[in-house]
Structure 1
């Protein structure tokens, strides 16, 4: 079995003890972190090294940032999303090869800040991600694209009135771009096993969202066809949101059966 978890930790230094506790308890093969909010040299490697995990990090001062914690060796394939211009300095993507699987860890732009330019950046990023998925499919690669997508694909993926009408996570163009990504041949792991359940992965810090269960499902693990056939479990670790000083996101784990 291969166990992969994605988690937007909303500052890894603030949530260092939560991450360490999760690693000790759940022991995923890979933990994909988003929004680490630190540069590479500031990443708390030793806290996780003591638990048997090394880290590959693409960091940025105060914002964004992604990292992969791993027990077995990994090969870094891409430190940024292929297809994005060199001028794009946002630390939002890292792709590794581990245990015969290509794993892309992503923090997709929110799109609500920066006006039209900010939203255009979100759509450009999604278009590049779709093109990258197509290239991996064409190469017959087994892969996962996981992380914080900042998309609610359907009305079932957010609580009533949890987002205002016209929010970038809900706009028709956003949903169309997400569907175009899925249509490259990917499977939404959570919906594959829980097609109609009310499930959320994010609860805002404001307006009592957690207490009211006014959540969003915006954290996904998208699987290529052969990996989708190996999917056995999906776990949304909702209890993490009830801890003191939590992230506003919770981890999402997939378990894949080993090949014969």
Structure 2
């Protein structure tokens, strides 16, 4: 099973890129973040013609998540149960025998902002919900834009980012809390080159200079991690005209 996560930073703008990527890579499931579309505008028909069933939870201008899959998803959950939130950031469904959870974690803006506190509260609620989900669904994958670089090795300039949003101790502790549920970072299951990132700012020629962060992740429950055969970041879409500022991250899991 091939699964992937991609923050497309507007599906309306990036739909041609997504369709081309689906055709070339043929994932079994692709989780999208920042679709930035109301549900009435979601391009379900175009994706169906490409061979993909769709689940989506969106809003105008901001946020929005979607799961594209070759087989229809079941047991759909939108949002974190018990956590009141108007922002569309979580979508879960069972694809085959795998529970796929697509997340767009809040950015947090700055460590001294209310949005940062919201981010930490949101992550705490996500962690508590997933604790129960892992009991119900031992084969669970958590994919998306986490807006957290877990370690200094995931940052192009750790000193410059020290204590800043995306790299703060509290955010990294929250990420560690997800790992503590019994999850594994698929990317770190394998030897990787240094300075491999999934996001680069549009400014300062950041992509060309590889001034990036690895903030897009696939976490796998132990039952899936032990069958994961590869995980990588595909930077090719970031080189296209009018790209998203994120690149897809992909993991392959061998069937039992």
TM range (shorter): over 0.9
Match of residue 217, structure 2, among 192, 217, 220:
220
Q: What is the TM-score when the length of structure 2 is the normalising length?
A: 0.95
Q: Does 1:144 align with 2:108?
A: no
Match of residue 183, structure 1, among 174, 180, 184:
180
Deviation digits for residues 123-151 of structure 1 (CA, Å, limit 9, x no counterpart): 01111111122112333621011100000
1:62 aligned partner: 61
The worse-fitting range, judged by mean Cα deviation, of 108-117 and 10-19 is: 108-117
**Residues in 1 aligned to 2:44 and 2:188: alpha-carbon distance in whole angstroms:** 34
Match of residue 171, structure 2, among 174, 178, 186:
174
Q: What is the TM-score when the length of structure 1 is the normalising length?
A: 0.94
**Residues in 2 aligned to 1:229 and 1:100: alpha-carbon distance in whole angstroms:** 15
Question: Secondary structure of 1:211's match?
Answer: coil
**Residues in 2 aligned to 1:50 and 1:171: alpha-carbon distance in whole angstroms:** 43
1:25 aligned partner: 24
Shift in CA distance, 8/143, structure 1 to aligned 2, threshold 3 Å:
same
Shift in CA distance, 162/65, structure 1 to aligned 2, threshold 3 Å:
farther
Give the gaps of 5 or more residues in structure 1: none
1:97 aligned partner: 94
**Residues in 2 aligned to 1:142 and 1:221: alpha-carbon distance in whole angstroms:** 13
Question: Secondary structure of 1:254's match?
Answer: strand
Shift in CA distance, 187/53, structure 1 to aligned 2, threshold 3 Å:
same
When the two chains are superposed, the root-mean-square deviation of aligned CA atoms in Å is: 1.7
Aligned residues: 256
Shift in CA distance, 139/66, structure 1 to aligned 2, threshold 3 Å:
same
**Residues in 2 aligned to 1:60 and 1:255: alpha-carbon distance in whole angstroms:** 31
**Residues in 2 aligned to 1:108 and 1:32: alpha-carbon distance in whole angstroms:** 13
**Residues in 2 aligned to 1:205 and 1:76: alpha-carbon distance in whole angstroms:** 37
2:73, 2:95 within 8 Å by CA — same for their partners in 1? yes
Give the gaps of 5 or more residues in structure 2: none
2:238 aligned partner: 241
